[in-house]
């Protein structure tokens, strides 16, 4: 049964049917070519195609070259020198028996040379179009160097900022992650099939990896099938439907089954239910890791489990190349399964046009890097990714009214660190820091002083703070840039405490004690617990590591050339003890009311009582510091006349709603309007709110726009008690607002 297909609206089916006629022919041609090639391959050559190795440091004249010529290596990662890429391709294409080209992969996660904000920052733009354009730039630059496959986008939902890889994803929301992921896939994979600037996307990590227990990377996950289907799988399904060419299995074991050996999820759900015909690659050595997991007894066993699960390509375990031949010989695995895997791999090579065009132009690739339009897109992405979390009116600064600023803090001039995690190819020399941008763009209008205060984010030396305070006394306004070095987030870099590292908090407090207005800029790879720093600051801008042009973006926002429009793609907790804390949690039988007795209000020798108890922490309540979707502007917006076209709908209907959005302030700005829905009663408990739509809307001062949105009722479907994806009839509420914690509910009903 393929229940999701039942819900696919007729409209889209018709559209797809029209646009698919020519691609069906291409597909048929490719299938013929794949079959022809496969029928000529020896078992060893097939297993070679299933082997992916990182070849960066391997000499081109030894064992490795021999393996390429024999067709024992099918693809490589981490090659970015076009001359080397071509040399490798020549061995595969011109010197091997069948001439099958290699795919060259690389982790191009948020840009290749021109670095964009980290994915969590791209998410904060709430702008899929911009994300798609950024991914296209990444593809143009990376393919110029010979990279035709990126291990991105990461579609892992995470509700835990301790997990360092929160930086690499789009946050905590399923619908939102799907939308952003699809945009990125489109950008990477480009338009016309076979275009040499197309880069295959790899949706990862399948699946549940972001729910690592305790936020510790590589840790177990325990997600029941319904939670997987309602929360963690939909972004992958969206990616598959958007045509992602490849997918990567994850490191985690879910409910005891490592994902690289998870037959149910990879073979049954991904392949059979979703009809995924792309290439499934393991994560780095994750085939072998089934041994320490205690799931495989040895490498041969691990190879068999991965193949049976449906993993086509082994990244860096050497388990397939080491054992599949023997396993086929013994009859332990069927060659049919191997053929299926090779078919999936060859299909992608044909789709990328590698057989026609395996080589890269060696002389021109640098011209593609850091083009002015790439840098401008990176700047624009950074501008839209910054979230204004608090402002007492100090921002924006008027460069003609204030006479001097102090720029301070360990992130004020940290060109390496503002690039964020997963930057193999970006260069700090190309990075514009806030200090550099303020000096260059505003230095002629006011005096700019600089004192780092601290050398790096973990620095505990107090002597620099004293110097910063002395300098602060001599200026009109202080801009302090704090946060995290890039190495503190990303893979394996998890934290138990989300407080600012080192003595950064002391730095802010000391600056505040001078009485000067303090603008705090936080540049980090994750949400940090900054309640104290918010209260010490006159204004606070949060910038998930913003990339190459981050400094220009921040300077322009601070001085009002740009207006903040970023919104939080994740909930900000007050303290890490509240984690996991996310807006779309299920309804509790005893929801937090907001008037609970807190720790300091409990009388001495209070007796035990169970009356009125709700779901909260005595010391931290239940509310976050900032909710999902939140972000301020230099203006204000009002939502009025929120209307829906009916009060009751059938399951096949489409709701039309409208509202008036007014810019009630004096500055032209962009609001991110958001639609949330709650299914009041279900056969299983339902989330208190779920995002169903969002749109960036630019308005001039005083302007009102009537916005009309359509919501197919089918989008209210979920996997219910019977494990069927359906819209259950009953009462629903919806909110149209500027974040997940505001707005008034409008009720409607869905009938059978």
Q: Given the rule CB under 6 A, which residues bind ligand BGC?
A: 107, 151, 204, 283-284, 491
- Token reading at 469: 């305070």
Q: Which is nearer to ligand BGC, 151 or 206 (CB)?
A: 151
How near is the Cβ of 702 to ligand BGC at its closest, in Å?
48
Q: Which is nearer to ligand BGC, 345 or 406 (CB)?
A: 345
Number of Cβ within 10 Å of residue 527's Cβ equals 29
How near is the Cβ of 640 to ligand BGC at its closest, in Å?
45
- Token reading at 159: 């509700």
Q: Which is nearer to ligand BGC, 186 or 205 (CB)?
A: 205
Is 283 tagged catalytic? yes
Residue 739 φ/ψ, nearest 5 degrees: -165, 175
How near is the Cβ of 283 to ligand BGC at its closest, in Å?
5
**Looking at the DSSP assignment, which residues form a beta bridge with residue 246?**
202, 279
Find the helix packing angle between 234-241 and 174-189, rounded to 10°. Answer: 30
| C-alpha to C-alpha distances, 456 to 37, 286, 409, 459, 481, nearest whole angstrom | 55, 34, 8, 5, 11
Q: Which is nearer to ligand BGC, 162 or 204 (CB)?
A: 204
How buried is residue 730: exposed, middle or buried, by Cβ count under 10 Å (0-12/13-18/19+)?
A: middle
Per-residue 3-state assignment (H helix, E strand, C coil) for 635-648: CCEEEEEEEECCCE
Q: What is the rounded distance in angstroms from the CA atom of residue 253 to the CA atom of residue 220?
A: 5
571 touches 627 (CB < 8 A): yes
Q: What is the rounded distance in angstroms from the CA atom of residue 250 to the CA atom of residue 308?
A: 16
Q: Which is nearer to ligand BGC, 151 or 626 (CB)?
A: 151
**Residues written for the chain:** 752
211 touches 267 (CB < 8 A): no
How near is the Cβ of 54 to ligand BGC at its closest, in Å?
8
Number of Cβ within 10 Å of residue 590's Cβ equals 10
Q: What is the rounded distance in angstroms from the CA atom of residue 303 to the CA atom of residue 104?
A: 23
Q: What is the rounded distance in angstroms from the CA atom of residue 634 to the CA atom of residue 566?
A: 12
Q: What is the rounded distance in angstroms from the CA atom of residue 376 to the CA atom of residue 548?
A: 10
Alpha helices in 514-572 (DSSP H): 531-536, 550-558
Q: Which is nearer to ligand BGC, 283 or 739 (CB)?
A: 283
Q: Which is nearer to ligand BGC, 210 or 410 (CB)?
A: 210
Q: What is the rounded distance in angstroms from the CA atom of residue 421 to the CA atom of residue 413?
A: 17
Contacts of 190 (CB under 8 A, 6+ apart): 136, 139, 197, 198, 199
**Which one of the listed residues 283, 312, 413, 459 is annotated catalytic?**
283
How near is the Cβ of 551 to ligand BGC at its closest, in Å?
28
532 touches 490 (CB < 8 A): no
How near is the Cβ of 490 to ligand BGC at its closest, in Å?
10
How near is the Cβ of 288 to ligand BGC at its closest, in Å?
13
The region that residue 384 occupies, defined by phi over 0 for left and psi between -120 and 50 for alpha, beta otherwise, is alpha
How near is the Cβ of 135 to ligand BGC at its closest, in Å?
16
Number of Cβ within 10 Å of residue 405's Cβ equals 27
Q: Which is nearer to ligand BGC, 209 or 616 (CB)?
A: 209
Q: Which is nearer to ligand BGC, 281 or 699 (CB)?
A: 281
Q: Largest Cα–Cα distance in the chain?
A: 84
Q: What is the DSSP letter of 243?
A: T
3-state SS of the chain: helix, strand, coil percent to 5?
35, 20, 45
How near is the Cβ of 489 to ligand BGC at its closest, in Å?
14
Q: Which is nearer to ligand BGC, 175 or 206 (CB)?
A: 206
How near is the Cβ of 493 to ligand BGC at its closest, in Å?
12
For 437, the 3-state DSSP assignment is helix
Residue at shortest CB range from ligand BGC: 151
- Provide the annotated active-site residues: 283
């Amino acid at each position: 049964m393929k229940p999701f297909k039942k819900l696919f609206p007729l409209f889209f089916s018709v559209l797809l049917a029209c646009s698919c006629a020519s691609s069906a022919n291409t597909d048929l041609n490719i299938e013929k070519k794949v079959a022809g090639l496969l029928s000529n391959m020896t078992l060893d050559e097939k297993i070679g195609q299933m082997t992916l190795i990182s070849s960066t440091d391997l000499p081109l004249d030894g064992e490795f070259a021999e393996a390429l010529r024999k067709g024992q290596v099918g693809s490589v990662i981490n090659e970015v020198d076009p001359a080397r890429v071509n040399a490798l391709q020549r061995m595969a294409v011109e010197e091997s028996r069948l001439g099958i080209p290699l795919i060259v992969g690389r982790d191009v996660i948020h840009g290749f040379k021109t670095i964009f904000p980290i994915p969590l920052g791209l998410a904060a733009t709430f702008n899929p179009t911009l994300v798609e354009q950024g991914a296209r730039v990444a593809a143009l630059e990376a393919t110029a160097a010979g990279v035709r496959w990126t291990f991105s986008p990461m579609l892992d939902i995470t509700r835990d900022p301790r997990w360092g890889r929160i930086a690499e994803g789009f946050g905590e929301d399923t619908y939102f992650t799907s939308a952003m992921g699809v945009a990125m896939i489109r950008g990477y994979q480009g338009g016309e099939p076979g275009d040499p600037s197309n880069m295959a996307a790899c949706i990862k990590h399948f699946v549940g990896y972001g729910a690592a227990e305790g936020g510790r990377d590589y840790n177990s996950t325990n997600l029941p099938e319904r939670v997987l289907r309602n929360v963690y799988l939909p972004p992958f399904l969206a990616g598959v439907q958007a045509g992602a060419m490849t997918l990567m299995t994850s490191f985690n074991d879910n409910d005891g089954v490592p994902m690289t050996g998870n037959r149910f999820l990879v073979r049954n759900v991904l392949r059979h239910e979703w009809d995924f015909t792309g290439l499934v690659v393991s994560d780095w050595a994750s085939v072998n890791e089934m041994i320490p997991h205690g799931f495989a007894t040895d490498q041969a066993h691990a190879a068999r489990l991965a193949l049976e699960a449906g993993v086509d390509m082994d990244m860096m375990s050497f388990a397939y190349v080491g054992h599949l031949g023997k396993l086929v010989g013994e009859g332990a695995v069927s060659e049919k399964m191997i053929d299926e895997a090779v078919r999936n791999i060859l299909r992608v090579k044909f789709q990328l046009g590698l057989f026609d065009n395996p080589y890269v132009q060696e002389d021109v690739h640098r011209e593609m890097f850091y083009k002015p339009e790439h840098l401008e897109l990176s700047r624009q992405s950074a501008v839209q990714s910054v979230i204004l979390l608090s402002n007492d009116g100090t921002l924006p600064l008027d460069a003609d009214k204030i006479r001097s600023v102090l720029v301070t803090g360990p992130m004020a001039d940290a060109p390496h660190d503002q690039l964020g995690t997963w930057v193999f190819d970006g260069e700090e020399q190309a990075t514009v820091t806030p200090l550099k941008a303020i000096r260059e763009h505003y230095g002629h209008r006011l005096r700019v002083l600089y004192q780092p205060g601290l050398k790096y984010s973990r620095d505990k030396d107090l002597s620099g703070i004293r110097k910063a305070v002395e300098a602060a006394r001599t200026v009109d306004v202080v801009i302090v840039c704090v946060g995290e070095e890039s190495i503190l987030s990303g893979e394996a870099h998890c934290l138990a405490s989300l407080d600012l590292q080192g003595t950064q908090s002391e730095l802010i407090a000391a600056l505040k004690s001078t009485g000067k207005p303090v603008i705090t800029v936080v540049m980090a790879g994750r949400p940090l617990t900054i309640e104290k720093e918010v209260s010490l600051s006159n204004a606070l801008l949060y910038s998930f590591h913003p990339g190459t042009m981050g400094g220009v973006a921040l300077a322009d926002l601070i001085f009002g050339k740009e207006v903040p429009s970023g919104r939080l793609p994740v909930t900000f907790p007050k303290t890490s003890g509240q984690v996991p804390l996310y807006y779309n949690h299920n309804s509790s039988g005893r929801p937090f009311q907001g008037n609970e007795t807190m720790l300091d209000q409990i009388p001495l020798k209070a007796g035990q009582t169970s009356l009125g108890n709700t779901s909260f922490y005595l010391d931290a309540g239940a509310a976050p510091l900032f909710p999902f979707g939140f972000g301020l502007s230099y203006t204000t917006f009002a939502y009025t006349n929120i209307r829906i076209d009916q009060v009751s709908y059938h399951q096949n209907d489409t709701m039309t709603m409208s509202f008036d959005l007014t810019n009630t302030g004096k500055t032209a700005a962009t609001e991110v309007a958001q639609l949330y829905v709650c299914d009041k009663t279900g056969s299983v408990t339902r989330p208190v709110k779920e995002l169903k739509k969002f749109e960036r809307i630019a308005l001039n001062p005083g302007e009102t726009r009537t916005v009309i949105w359509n919501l197919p009722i089918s989008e209210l479907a979920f996997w219910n008690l019977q494990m069927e994806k359906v819209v259950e009839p009953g009462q629903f509420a919806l909110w149209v607002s500027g974040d997940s914690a505001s707005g008034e509910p409008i009720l409607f009903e869905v009938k059978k």
